[in-house]
Chains A and B, each alone.
Chain A
Amino acid sequence: MSSNGPTPSTNQPAWRRALKIHAIRFFFVGGFFLLWEVASGRWIEAFLISSPSKIWLAFLKVYQSGELTTNTWVTFQEIAIGFPVGALTGIWTGYIFGRSKALADIFEPIIIALYGVPRTALAPLFIVWLGIGIWSKVGVVFILVFFLNFFNTYAGMKQLDQEFVDLARLMGANRWRLSFRVILPAVSPYIITGFKTSIPFSVIGAITGEFIAATEGLGYYIRAAAGVFRTADVFVGIAVLMIIVILMNKVADLIERRVLRWQTQSESVQVQG
């Protein structure tokens, strides 16, 4: 293994390097929490920053009472509906616009103008239109996710190499094969980028909606807790949101690895070599 490597001095077993990296990361994160714990109540007022131990206790309490689960479930539903619908609609619209020059010519300025609107500013409107239940939040999630996916897909369609399309058509590809075997795979790196960047924005959308008007959900829970200075509860809410984003990213990574297999393989070969 390492004996036939060209530069043996820099080669060390992969597990050893991984162990080192994990150890350093662990000490860094652990040190941060330790510092936080020590600082709380000594150097900084406890009600401002709470402390890891208090957050843990708060977590156990709201978990046992079922409050956390209920609110998490509501926010999860909003994202679970708004995100995939927004992503698929955005990708589809980007694709359609990329395929039709007429559509692009007509609607591109309008969409760019809409893009200029800070979309979170639309959240109050969604409350007016769709009420204070989950559907207004689904709407905000949808609009944030839609635009990111649309713009990335459309940018990819503009970069599409016409020669691939020509070749496929000369080889007799019908519309279906042209779309799914040629154009979408060619644009997939752009689509994946849009899809992945829209993940945290879907959570932002749900929380923003809940901040404005809601009776349940993690955003509602965080805002209510902050209103009465229950800082520990605020951090519990934030931690759950972080976990949601991390889990969504994990799923997106799996999708990316599958869809862009043809790319990552060659990259890893180059990086290792």
Chain B
Amino acid sequence: MSNSPDNIVIQVDNVSKTFQTADTDRVGALENISLDIRQGEFVTVVGPSGCGKSTLIKLIAGLVSLSGGRIICQGEEVRGLNTKVGYVPQESKLFPWLTVEQNVAFGLDSKGYSKSERDQRVQHFIQLAGLAGFEKRYPSQLSGGMAKRASIVRALAYDPTVILMDEPFGPLDAQTRMILQDELLKIWEHKRQTIIFVTHDLVEAVALADRVVVMTHRPGKIRDVITVPMTRPRNIFEIHRQPGFDEAHAKLWNIFRHELNLKNGASAAVGN
């Protein structure tokens, strides 16, 4: 991977976001965020609950409007919905009235792929997600892990420039989580699409990422960006043994410990 500046797909330029609350107070969710994402990069964003990390990717997707600054995606400023991104929400959010196949095909149908290319791609991604044989099933007939994988390949299938993932593995149990992290990396190795992945799990953040963006508590600012030096492909199940993991994780934890001391452990743990 080359890191030349013309390889930048997403440029977050001095972005702020404030929310208006009922009693006319303005709550700052994000303050002066600047970040460049390079082509093919896997970036994770970590921070305590309520630091605005989900808001950041919603801004990139154009689902939420900016209060200040600008976001440039492939040389174009994001105004309104950004259809160049794929979005994987916290819950799977497969369309329950469509079959697995129809769900995966949704983005392809909307973007005018030819019939044969569509079918081929759908089949390819269903296989990649280990869902062969489940094409005609409805989401309610899938396990949580299967639904999650379908949700991820639905976003990958139509080849968006950037995939945004908002704590996709949050609600899963530890084992399923690890298996899915492993599968996500394997799928990603195939295509090397650019991924921005929000999480609150430090191990997950380091294990998956090329770079980890650390955010501070409200108003959200970027505290630091850590480069993870581990080689790829990585083995999620023995990630602790891989050279580079400990240093990166220790660095991250140091920042966090500092952050928690400053803001008082109890209040920092309050969910959003």
Is the CB–CB distance between A170 and B95 below 8 Å?
A: no
Q: Which chain B residues border A182 with CB–CB below 8 Å?
A: 95
Q: Which chain B residues border A265 with CB–CB below 8 Å?
A: 138, 140-141
Q: Which chain A residues border B158 with CB–CB below 8 Å?
A: 171-172
Distance, CA A163 to CA B154, complexed state (A)? 15
Q: Which of B15-23, B77-85, B220-228 contacts A (4 or more CB under 8 A)?
A: B77-85
Known A164-B95, A266-B138, A269-B141: A170·B85 in contact at CB below 8 Å: yes
Q: Which of B5-13, B106-114, B243-251, B255-263 contacts A (4 or more CB under 8 A)?
A: B106-114
A186 at interface, CB cutoff 8 A: yes
Which A175-221 residues have a C-beta within 8 angstroms of B? 177, 181-182, 185-186, 188
Is the CB–CB distance between A186 and B97 below 8 Å?
A: yes
Q: Which of B65-73, B86-94, B201-209 contacts A (4 or more CB under 8 A)?
A: B86-94
Is the CB–CB distance between B140 and A167 below 8 Å?
A: no
Q: How far is the CB of A130 from chain B (nearest CB, A)?
A: 40
Q: Which chain B residues border A245 with CB–CB below 8 Å?
A: none
- In chain B, what residue has the closest Cβ to A172? B110
Q: Which chain A residues border B89 with CB–CB below 8 Å?
A: 163, 167
A262 at interface, CB cutoff 8 A: yes
Distance, CA A170 to CA B96, complexed state (A)? 18
Is the CB–CB distance between A170 and B82 below 8 Å?
A: yes
Is the CB–CB distance between A262 and B97 below 8 Å?
A: yes
- In chain B, what residue has the closest Cβ to A162? B63
Is the CB–CB distance between B95 and A166 below 8 Å?
A: no
A174, A185, A186, A262: the one contacting B140 at CB < 8 Å is A262
Q: Which chain A residues border B82 with CB–CB below 8 Å?
A: 170
Known A262-B138, A263-B140: A167·B97 in contact at CB below 8 Å: no
Instruction: Give the bracket for the number of chain B residues in contact with chain A.
Output: 20 to 34
Is the CB–CB distance between A170 and B81 below 8 Å?
A: yes
- In chain B, what residue has the closest Cβ to A269? B141
A22 at interface, CB cutoff 8 A: no
Is the CB–CB distance between A177 and B97 below 8 Å?
A: no
Q: Which chain A residues border B98 with CB–CB below 8 Å?
A: 181, 185, 262
Q: Which chain B residues border A262 with CB–CB below 8 Å?
A: 96-98, 138-140
Is the CB–CB distance between A266 and B97 below 8 Å?
A: no
Distance, CA A263 to CA B109, complexed state (A)? 24
A17 at interface, CB cutoff 8 A: no
Is the CB–CB distance between B87 and A266 below 8 Å?
A: no
- In chain A, what residue has the closest Cβ to B62? A170
A252 at interface, CB cutoff 8 A: no
Is the CB–CB distance between A177 and B140 below 8 Å?
A: no
A173 at interface, CB cutoff 8 A: yes
Interface string of A111-122 (1 = CB under 8 A from B): 000000000000
- In chain B, what residue has the closest Cβ to A173? B110
Distance, CA A168 to CA B61, complexed state (A)? 12
Known A164-B93, A164-B95, A262-B96: A172·B111 in contact at CB below 8 Å: yes
Is the CB–CB distance between A266 and B140 below 8 Å?
A: yes
Which B153-204 residues have a C-beta within 8 angstroms of A? 154, 158
Interface string of B98-130 (1 = CB under 8 A from A): 100000001101110000000000000000000
Is the CB–CB distance between B95 and A171 below 8 Å?
A: no
Is the CB–CB distance between B81 and A168 below 8 Å?
A: no
Known A263-B140, A266-B141: A171·B110 in contact at CB below 8 Å: yes
Q: Which chain A residues border B97 with CB–CB below 8 Å?
A: 185-186, 188, 262
Q: How far is the CB of B139 from chain A (nearest CB, A)?
A: 8
Is the CB–CB distance between A166 and B140 below 8 Å?
A: no
A250 at interface, CB cutoff 8 A: no
Q: How far is the CB of B19 from chain A (nearest CB, A)?
A: 16
Q: Which chain A residues border B140 with CB–CB below 8 Å?
A: 262-263, 265-266
A25 at interface, CB cutoff 8 A: no
Q: Which chain A residues border B63 with CB–CB below 8 Å?
A: 166, 170
Is the CB–CB distance between A170 and B106 below 8 Å?
A: no
Central interface residue in A161, A166, A186, A265, by most chain B CB within 10 Å: A166
Q: Which chain A residues border B81 with CB–CB below 8 Å?
A: 169-170
Is the CB–CB distance between B95 and A185 below 8 Å?
A: yes
- In chain A, what residue has the closest Cβ to B108? A171
Is the CB–CB distance between A177 and B110 below 8 Å?
A: yes
Supply 7 further A-B pairs (C-beta < 8 A) apart from A166-B63, A186-B95. Answer: A170-B83, A170-B85, A171-B111, A173-B106, A173-B110, A186-B97, A265-B138
Residues of chain A at the chain B interface (Cβ within 8 Å): 161, 163-164, 166-174, 177, 181-182, 185-186, 188, 261-263, 265-266, 269
Chosen A-B contacts, 9 in total, with CB atoms closer than 8 Å, are: A166-B61, A166-B63, A167-B87, A172-B107, A262-B140, A265-B140, A265-B141, A266-B138, A266-B141
Q: Which 8 A-B pairs give the minimum distances between C-beta atoms? A: A266-B140, A172-B110, A171-B107, A185-B97, A262-B138, A262-B97, A173-B110, A172-B111
